[in-house]
Amino acid sequence: MKPTKFQTLLAWAVISTTAGYLVPKLIVASGGQVPIATLSLIITLPLIAILLVLFALPMIRAYRSAGKTKLASASKTAKPRTLINPFYAVRVVLLAKAIAVAGAIFFGWQLGLVWLQLSAPVITAAIWYNLAALIGALLMLIAGWVIERVCRIRDDSNGEASSQSGAKNIEANPA
């Protein structure tokens, strides 16, 4: 699975910003009100980001310890690397990818709403709810994108070199 590109997230955010601006503008033009983020949305978006970080804590610890083991690999007292269940890691990566895309969509929608409210002749106090939801969506987007990067498998140059030299030995000495 390839990591989510920044351009993909930007595209989703631009599309949803356009929708978040134009759809409520059409609703207001036909006599309706600008949608306002509810308290449950304001709480849920950052809570999703926090839960994702909690789910990814084993991978974050392994990521940090991998950097330390490279430094301490020369010493014989280095701690062995902790193994992570690969199925758990894949689930967390997929969840992070989904949360990053959903965060980009929520961020764009809320940005469109805030933009519409700021461009209105009268700014109501309801803009604070949409600003709070915008910040929650941004947290969700950042958490998903960063956790997806942390959970990537790095290329192990030592492992590739040893497997290639083993292949050469087998080809040179057929049994």
Measured at the CA of 151, the angle between CA 149 and CA 153, to 5 degrees, comes to 100
Residues 44-100: tens digit of each pLDDT:
999 999 999 999 998 888 877 766 655 555 555 656 666 788 899 889 999 999 999
Phi-psi region of 156 (alpha: psi -120 to 50; beta: other; left: phi over 0): beta
Cα–Cα distance, 161 to 31 (Å, whole number):
69
> What local confidence, expressed as pLDDT, does residue 162 receive?
39
Q: Are 133 and 37 in contact (CB under 8 A)?
A: yes
Phi, psi of 37 (to 5 degrees): -65, 135
Q: Where are the domains of the chain?
A: 6-73+83-164
| Structure tokens that stand for 75 in this block | 């010493």
- Whether residue 151 has pLDDT greater than 90: no
Q: Are 148 and 3 in contact (CB under 8 A)?
A: yes
Per-residue confidence band for 101, with pLDDT thresholds at 50, 70 and 90: very high
**Average per-residue pLDDT for the chain:** 83
Cα–Cα distance, 38 to 36 (Å, whole number):
6
Per-residue confidence band for 171, with pLDDT thresholds at 50, 70 and 90: very low
Query: What amino acid is encoded at 107 in this protein?
Result: F
Say which range, 38-47, 127-136, 144-153, has the weakest mean pLDDT: 144-153
